[in-house]
Amino acid sequence: MDINEESLQLHEKHRGKLEIKSKIPLEDKHDLAVAYTPGVAAVSLAIGKDKSLAREYTIKHNTVAIVSDGSAILGLGNLGPEAALPVMEGKAILFKQFGNIDAFPICLDTQDTEEIIKTVKHLAPVFGGINLEDISAPRCFEIERRLRAELDIPVMHDDQHGTAVVVLAALINSLKLRGLTKEQVKIVINGAGAAGLAVTQLLLEYGFKNIVVGDTKGAIFEGRAGLNDEKVLIAKSTNREKIKGDLALIIKATDIFVGLSKPNLLLPEMIRSMNEKPIILALANPVPEIMPDQAHSAGAFIVATGRSDFPNQINNVLAFPGIFRGALDNGVVQFSSTMFINAANALAGFVQNPAPDKILPSVFDPGVAAAVAKAIIK
């Protein structure tokens, strides 16, 4: 039985992967009176006088909404909210397993930016944080920006920032192994969607100096026609030399390739045109821009993918449980790039002896989320 058939059978058997359980016993009239009426009235009155007490008395202190409109599900495209639900259920399991956070899927039957923002704002009183998931670009940028500005709880689009944190962590350890500094290296980022632009921005914040971003039309540079607002901003901080051309051209004499694009776009001859012992992060899923064996044969020093069946998996689950755990525990209202950099440093530092095939922790290494949670509020 292949993994797809096994997954279908698992979901059919359990009719979903989540359930709600009570934390308290409900065995007699006294239990009922304390947990519900009349006793609960005292709790409502207290919160009515001081809304911040909702964090002390209710699920709000440890609950995150996983919000999706189903417009960009994994690598599958726009399949709608019903198709998003099993993915968001899985995400909720990861929150609980690795961060001990109670998360719940909210799959919205709208792809209108204003409707999504309005709906999430109406739902926000229940939750201690909002995780945006699988919302297509460029709408995801506006939705996250507005919700961050208008809510008093932390909001994060994991496809952007979770990816960026883990990529940065991978590069921190890769540079140590390669003996290079962030100021020295030249980076090509192929893919200018939500993840690609967020990775670029965090690498710039960290201090990388020489980055060229490419999309389906080639290198992005300041003044290029047809750029959306997010790409215009990135163009101002990258590709200072205004290099033009496709991936085969812009990758020449570079040190690092970060692929957040499509399968099989990176050819062995492109790697051979890079500087000696390049670092390759081929993160398209489920098929990367180049397979690891091909990349190594072409001269790559370090290769990472998004897959669990190869070494060096770039997996967001290394980041988001700890990031939200730290936020909930410390009353964080808004995430910052400093927090994300702290998280990346914690991930990189968790690997005591980095090696070319071990630049990141495993998602199953005990203590990863706790280390990230502790680090973000330094």
Is 56 marked as a binding-site residue?
no
Asked whether the predicted pLDDT for residue 8 surpasses 90, the reply is no
State the pLDDT confidence band at 308, using cuts at 50, 70 and 90. Answer: confident
Q: What is the pLDDT of residue 77?
A: 86
Q: What is the pLDDT of residue 370?
A: 97
Q: What is the pLDDT of residue 12?
A: 86
Q: What is the pLDDT of residue 286?
A: 84
Q: Spell out the domains of the chain, with CATH numbers in brackets.
A: 17-40+58-153 (3.40.50.10380), 160-378 (3.40.50.720)
State the pLDDT confidence band at 178, using cuts at 50, 70 and 90. Answer: very high
C-alpha torsion angle, residues 258, 263, 267, 272 (rounded to 10)? 20
Region 293-312 average pLDDT: 95
For residue 91, indicate whether it is catalytic: yes
Mean pLDDT (the chain) is 95
Region 318-343 average pLDDT: 97
If you ran DSSP here, which 8-state letter would residue 218 be given? E
Kindly list the distances between the CA atom of residue 77 and the CA atoms of 42, 86, 131, 192, in Å, as whole numbers in the listed order: 48, 15, 19, 16
Q: What is the pLDDT of residue 202?
A: 98
Active-site pick, 13, 17, 21, 36: 36
Is 285 marked as a binding-site residue?
yes
Of 284, 259, 378, whose CA–CA distance to 322 is shortest?
A: 378
- Least confident residue range of 163-172, 215-224, 319-328: 215-224
Residue whose tokens read 């709408």: 139
End-to-end CA distance of the chain: 47
pTM of this structure: 0.94
Q: Which two tokens stand for residue 261?
A: 């694009």
Residue whose tokens read 């005591």: 352
If you ran DSSP here, which 8-state letter would residue 305 be given? E
By the 10 Å C-beta count (0-12 exposed, 13-18 middle, 19+ buried), 78 is classed as middle
Is 315 marked as a binding-site residue?
yes
Active-site pick, 60, 91, 186, 231: 91
Is 246 marked as a binding-site residue?
no
For residue 36, indicate whether it is catalytic: yes
Cβ contact 216:160 at 8 Å: no
Q: Which residue has the higher pLDDT, 8 or 203?
A: 203
Is 4 marked as a binding-site residue?
no
Cβ contact 326:374 at 8 Å: yes
Q: What is the pLDDT of residue 98?
A: 97
Q: What is the pLDDT of residue 347?
A: 98
DSSP SS3 for 116: helix
